[in-house]
Structure 1
Amino acid sequence: MKTTQPDASSTSLDATYALDPGLSLDHFSNTIFKSLRRNDQRRWAYAYLRGLLGTSGKKSVRRLATAISRDPSVVQSLRQFVSLSRWGFDEVMEELTHWVTGHRPDPVWSIGRAVLPKRGDRSVGVHRYFDLSSGRTLNCQLALGSFLRVGNAQLPVDWCLYLSTHWTQEPGRRRDARIPDSEQYRPLWAHTLRLVDRLSARTDSASAVVHADMSDEPQVANLLHGLAGRHRDFVVAIPPQLAVLPAAGAAPVPVSARTLVAALPAEQAAVPLPGGKRRIALFRSSFVRLPGRSAGTPYRLFTEVGPARARGPLWLTSLAHRGLAEVGSIAAPRSGTTDAIGSMEQDFGLRDFEGRSFPGWHHHMALVSAAYTYRYLHGFTAVPSRSTA
C-alpha cells in the first residue's frame, strides 16, 4: 500500500505559539530563516528552535514534538522539515553570521572540531576515526565548525562534514545519503580553508586571525601555505614532527618543531585576560620558516611551558611582529570551541540527529547553531507551553 508523508503545512502548532510566540525569539527566527521560501517552513523552524531551547535531556524529534504539541502528527512534520524539506543551509548560516557580527565579535576566527559518535554505518559521513583527545578509535561523524567569539562565548556560524572516500566514491551511498555532486573528498586542512573562504565572503573582516588546532593533521603545511596565499594571518597548533627551518643562519637544516623549541630558554610574558587582568606565563619561542618558503617574513614558533615543565601544544603564527603576550592570548582560548561544542552536545542536541541524509544533517546543525547563539546572546530561558487539549 502506498503511503504519503504529511506536509508540515498540514499540521497546526498549538494555539500558544500562534497567540504568544515570544516576540524576541520570533524576530530572531524570522531573520535567521528568512531565506526559507514557504511560510510553513519558517513556522516549523521557529517551533524547532523553541523545542531545542525548552526541552531538557535528549533532543530527539519525538521529544521536541511532545514539548510543543499533543498532536501526534507534529512528530512527522518536524522530521520532514529537518530531513526532507528543501531549504538552504548556506543561506541560513550566512544570516546567522551577519547576526553574530552585528554583536562585534573578537577579530579571531576559531575552527573547532566536533566528534559525534554513532551506532552502525548508515548515518552520512560515519567512519572509524582516532580521537586524539580521548586516545580512542571511534565510530563517528566528524565535523569542523567556524566560531566567532562574543564576550566569553564562542558562537558557531558554519559547519563542514568530513566525508571519507568510503562515502564519496560509492554511488549507492551517495544516492542514499543525498550527497550533492559538488561534495567530494577533502582532507581536514582543505575543509578548514573552505570554512575560511566562506567566512571571508560573508564578512568584511580582512584582518581577522584564523585560530585552529591542527596538531594531528600531517598535511598541516598545506593549510599554512593556503592561509599565507590568502594573506590571512593565523595562529595554528601544529604536529610536533612538522619540519621547520630556523630563520637565523645562512643555510639552516630542517628540524622538527618539538626538537627546536626544546633547546630554547624560557621567557616570561604577561598574557592579557578578560576583564583587564593578566597572567604571567613562560614561553619558548623561535622565528622559523617552512621548507619551500625561504623568502618573506618568518613565522613565530612558540609553546607555553606548563607546570613542572610539561609539554604544551606547539603553535605557529604569521604574527611574528607581535609580542608573545598577544599571540599567547590568541592561542589560549583553544578550549573555548571545545567547551561550546560540549555545551551544544549536552544541552542543545548536537549529537541527537536521527536522520541519515547529508541535507538533513546540515539542517540539524543550522538549527542547533541558531538555538545556541540565541541562548547566549539573548538569554532565553522559558520552556515552551504545551496544549492541554
Structure 2
Amino acid sequence: MHETPEMATGRALDDLSRLLFGPLHRSDQQRWGHVYLQGLLRTHGKKTVRRMAATVTGSEATSSSLHQFVNASPWEWAPVRGRLAHWATRSLPVRSWTLAPTVLPKRGDHSPGVHQRFLPEPGRTVNCQLGLGLFLNTGQAHLPVDWRLFLPPRFLQDPAVRDRAKIPATARPQSLGDHALHLVQEMTSWTDGETAPVVADLTTLCDIAPLARRLQGSGHSFVLAIPGQTAIGGAELPPGERPSARALLARHGVRHPAGAGRGIISYETTVHGLRPSGENTRGPGRLLAEWDADAGRPGRIWLTNITDRHPAELLELARSPQGARSAVRRMGEDFGLLDFEGRSFPGWHRHMTLVSAAYTCGLLEGMSPDI
C-alpha cells in the first residue's frame, strides 16, 4: 500500500478532524486544527505555514493564525494523541507497538533538543533533534500515535535556554530508554490496559538492557534487538564469564526452517525483570535471529519474553521497525514532518501530533476503517 496525500477523501478528513479536535474547548482551535491538517495533506513540497495557508484558504495572511495555533494556542497535545490511539486500536488489527527513533536535521542551535549526533548509517555527524515515536503496526501500515523529544542536558540545566524553548518545569533528564518506557506506559493508559508486543531496535542509541528489565517487570511482552556481544546469564556468574548472545546462538541454538531457503536460530534463556516496586523478577525468554548462511553466523539478534509463538512469527514482528522507518521517511517527504516552523517544545509536540494525524488520514482510504 502506498497512498498519496491526495487520496485522503474529504469525508475522511472531516471525520478524523472532528474526532481529534471536536473536544477542544474553543471553536477557533477546532477550525485551525482542521485547516492545518488540510494544509499538510494538500500542499505540495515544503509545508510552511505560509504555503499551507495559501493552499487551503487562498490567502497567505492566515499563516499567522496557523503559526499561533501550533506554537502558542493553549491546547494539550496528549489528549489528541490519545483519541487517535484509542480510535486506531478499536478500529484496526494492531499487531505490535513499534518504537522508532526519528532524526530531524536542524540548522542553528535554538530549536528544542537540537544537538550534534553521529549517525552510524551515513557515517557522519549531523545537527539534529532526536525524537522517538510509537507506531501501531496493523500489518498494512504503521500509524504514529505518540512522540517524545530527547533533551540534552543544556536544555534542562540552563534556565535561559529552558525558558526560551518553553520546556515545562516537569521535564527531567531522561535516557532514550526512559522515553521508550514512558511511551509504552502512556499507550497502555490510552487503551485501558490492553497491550500489544513492544518491538524496537534502539541498539545504536542506548543500552537496551534497562528497558528490557522494566518491560519484563511491568508485564509487557517485547521483541527487542540487542547487540551480539550482550552478556547473557544470571548474576551468579561474573560478567566476564557470561557468554555473549551471539556465542550462545552459534554454539547451542536450535535451527528452525522458515521457507524460501531461510533459516532461523533460537536459544531458550531467562529474562530478568525489574518491577515498579524495585523487586527483581525473572521469567522464560528466547534469543532469536535469522541465520546468515553466507557468513555462517546469526544475523541481527533479538531478545523476547514471548515463548508461545513460532520463531518465524516473532521474526516477522521483529521486522516492524523497518515499516516504521518507512513511515517516518514518507512523513518527511509528503506530510511535513521536517517542516516545523518554531523553536518551542510545545510547538514541536503539537506539530508532530498534527503530522501524525495527517499521515493517518492519508492512509484511511486504503485501509477503509470506520471512524
Pairwise same-fold verdict (TM > 0.5): yes
Q: Are the counterparts in 1 of residues 32 and 66 from structure 2 also a CA contact under 8 Å? A: yes
Query: Residue 351 in 1 paired to residue 332 in 2?
Result: no
How much does 1:108 deviate?
Answer: 1.1
Aligned to 1:297: 283
Instruction: Map residues 190-339 of structure 1 onto 2, 5 A cutoff.
Output: 190-204=178-192, 206-245=194-233, 253-264=241-252, 267-270=255-258, 279=260, 281-289=262-270, 296-306=282-292, 308-309=294-295, 312-339=299-326
Aligned with 1:364 (options 334, 344, 351)? 351
How much does 1:101 deviate?
Answer: 1.3
Q: Are the counterparts in 1 of residues 253 and 267 from structure 2 also a CA contact under 8 Å? A: no
* 1:327-356 Cα deviation digits (max 9, x unpaired): 112112230100000100100010110210
How much does 1:136 deviate?
Answer: 2.1
Please state whether the residue corresponding to 2:65 is helix, strand or coil: helix
Q: Are the counterparts in 1 of residues 272 and 282 from structure 2 also a CA contact under 8 Å? A: no
Aligned to 2:277: none
Letter in 2 for 1:96: L
How much does 1:260 deviate?
Answer: 2.7
Tell me the TM-score normalised to structure 1 length: 0.84
Aligned to 2:16: 28
Aligned with 1:37 (options 11, 25, 40)? 25
Please state whether the residue corresponding to 1:334 is helix, strand or coil: helix
Q: Are the counterparts in 2 of residues 210 and 234 from structure 1 also a CA contact under 8 Å? A: yes
Structure-2 change in CA distance of 1:191 and 1:126 (3 Å): same
* 1:280-330 Cα deviation digits (max 9, x unpaired): 521222122367999743321111123623763210000134321221121
Query: Residue 159 in 1 paired to residue 140 in 2?
Result: no
Larger Rg: 1
Query: Residue 77 in 1 paired to residue 65 in 2?
Result: yes
Aligned to 1:109: 97
Aligned to 1:125: 113
How much does 1:76 deviate?
Answer: 1.0
Matched residues in 2 for 1:103 and 1:348: separation? 23
Tell me the TM-score normalised to structure 2 length: 0.87
How much does 1:114 deviate?
Answer: 0.7
Instruction: Name stretches of at least 5 consecutive residues in structure 1 with no aligned partner.
Output: 1-20, 271-277, 381-389
Letter in 2 for 1:188: L
Structure-2 change in CA distance of 1:206 and 1:95 (3 Å): closer
Structure-2 change in CA distance of 1:96 and 1:120 (3 Å): same
Matched residues in 1 for 2:255 and 2:211: separation? 29
Report the number of matched residues: 351
Matched residues in 1 for 2:104 and 2:125: separation? 12
Instruction: Map residues 77-96 of structure 1 onto 2, 5 A cutoff.
Output: 77-96=65-84
Structure-2 change in CA distance of 1:218 and 1:83 (3 Å): closer
Please state whether the residue corresponding to 1:179 is helix, strand or coil: coil
Instruction: Map residues 33-72 of structure 1 onto 2, 5 A cutoff.
Output: 33-72=21-60
Structure-2 change in CA distance of 1:135 and 1:240 (3 Å): farther
Please state whether the residue corresponding to 2:125 is helix, strand or coil: strand
Q: Are the counterparts in 2 of residues 282 and 304 from structure 1 also a CA contact under 8 Å? A: yes
Matched residues in 1 for 2:224 and 2:288: separation? 10
Percent of aligned pairs sharing the same letter: 42
TM superposition outliers: structure 1 runs of 4+ over 6 Å: 291-295
